[in-house]
């Protein structure tokens, strides 16, 4: 049986199938709802059911408290309809959002490259007739053999690239990343859905951009930077890439070549634990420390005003960078983040009011 859902305050009505989640139905029909983990753990997709009956599904008690359930709230990534519905969502209009509909795809693995001891780069050729449409910075949900739930991975290539590139960090004990590192073979067929997320460049602002990346959190900034330069942007672009040491640093040659070809692009690899007696001559320290060094003038004043910042990496890195940016007079409205969380981390995620995800 099929039902309908009216989404307020948009006043838009969509169709939804029995057993289909509210989030899936909305995204597939070009209606964006806030979302992050997509597994009922982070509460980002919480909406109010104004009228109708729903099945709460697997929403965790932590993400959706008992009193919230009694008030008629639900998590759109888990809730399925039992009747026609009216829901109210906290929606924010974004003129840069393309609101591309969610679609399913099949890909064939064309390349596997272990770029560090813990990070593997995977490339896939899309097997479906329709191309993957996404905004640079968005992510996909990948079905991994042996895992009940799909796993989220940022898309590392630019939208004009015909293939899909993923950067997969091995998570100790992680079933999905373990399989992708230990079992995946060339030619393997994988299924995924895309696009997800609200992490993309706000191009209409026409201001300089700062990208801060840690670990495999480099994937989204890589997509965004390549896309900007491909479109001919001449505004200043700064990338600070954090790694523990040279062994964990990857794609440095790629970004150094980009910097040689594009005078407006500045690349700063920052190593936090490189041996002091090594030949490394680049910046040392954590991402937020190098960030402050680069934007502090001779008088000791740190000033990020007039920029937009895009942060992708482990939560501690993001927290430290947020603090540094705001101390340097960059406001919340100009800071966009994508926390790099494993499936095990997702339940610990709390959405800070400082973050625009």
Supply the CATH number for residue 119's domain: 2.40.30.10
Is residue 185 located within the same domain as residue 161? yes
Query: Please, what's the b/e burial string for 254-293 (b: 16 or more CB within 10 A of its CB; e: otherwise)?
Result: ebeebbeebeebebbbbbbebeeeeeeeebbbbbbbbbbe
Tens place of pLDDT for every residue, the chain, 357 residues?
799 999 999 999 999 999 999 999 999 999 999 998 888 999 999 999 999 999 999 999 999 999 999 999 999 999 999 999 999 999 988 999 999 999 999 999 999 999 999 999 999 999 888 889 999 999 999 999 999 989 999 999 999 998 999 999 999 999 999 999 999 999 999 999 999 999 999 999 999 999 999 999 999 999 999 999 999 999 999 999 999 999 999 999 999 999 999 999 999 999 999 999 999 999 999 999 999 999 999 999 999 999 999 999 999 999 999 999 999 999 999 999 986 555 555 444 444 333 333
Is residue 174 located within the same domain as residue 304? no
Model pTM?
0.91
Distance CA 126, CA 132 (A): 8
Distance CA 195, CA 213 (A): 21
Contacts of 217 (CB under 8 A, 6+ apart): 154, 312, 313, 314, 317, 338, 340
| 161 is a domain residue | yes
Q: Which residues pair with 55 in a beta bridge?
A: 80
Domain of 319, CATH number, reads 3.40.50.80
Is residue 242 located within the same domain as residue 317? yes
Is residue 285 located within the same domain as residue 338? yes
Domain span at residue 26?
A: 2-88
């Amino acid at each position: 049986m099929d039902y309908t859902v009216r989404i307020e305050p948009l006043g838009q009505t969509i169709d939804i199938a029995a057993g289909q989640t509210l989030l899936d139905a909305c995204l597939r029909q070009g209606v964006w709802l806030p979302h992050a983990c997509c597994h009922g753990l982070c509460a980002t997709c919480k909406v109010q059911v104004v009228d109708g009956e729903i099945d709460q599904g697997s929403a965790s008690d932590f993400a959706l408290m008992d009193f919230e359930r009694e008030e008629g709230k639900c998590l759109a990534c888990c809730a399925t309809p039992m009747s026609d519905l009216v829901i109210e969502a906290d929606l924010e209009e974004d003129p840069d959002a393309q609101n591309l509909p969610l679609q399913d795809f099949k890909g064939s693995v064309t390349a596997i490259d272990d770029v560090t001891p813990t990070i593997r780069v995977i490339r896939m050729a899309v097997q479906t007739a329709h191309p993957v449409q996404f905004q640079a910075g968005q992510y996909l949900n990948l079905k991994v053999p042996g895992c009940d739930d799909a796993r989220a991975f940022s898309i590392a290539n630019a939208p004009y690239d015909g293939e899909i590139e993923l950067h997969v960090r091995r998570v100790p004990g992680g079933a999905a990343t373990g399989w992708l590192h230990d079992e995946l073979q060339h030619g393997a067929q994988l299924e995924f859905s895309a696009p997800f997320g609200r992490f993309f460049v706000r191009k209409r602002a026409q201001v300089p951009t700062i990208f801060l990346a840690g670990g495999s959190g480099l994937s989204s900034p890589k997509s965004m930077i390549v896309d900007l330069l491909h479109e001919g942007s001449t505004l200043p672009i700064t990338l600070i890439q954090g790694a523990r040491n040279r062994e964990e640093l990857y794609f440095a040659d790629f970004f150094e070549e980009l910097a040689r070809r594009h005078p407006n692009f500045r690349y700063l690899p920052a190593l936090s634990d490189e041996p002091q007696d090594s030949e490394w001559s680049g910046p040392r320290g954590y991402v937020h420390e190098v960030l402050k060094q680069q934007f502090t003038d001779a008088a000791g004043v740190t000033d990020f005003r007039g920029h937009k910042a895009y942060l992708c990496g482990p939560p501690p890195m993001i927290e430290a960078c947020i603090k540094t940016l705001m101390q340097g007079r960059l406001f919340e409205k100009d800071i966009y983040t994508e926390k790099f969380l494993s499936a095990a981390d997702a339940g610990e995620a709390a959405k800070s009011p400082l973050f625009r995800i």
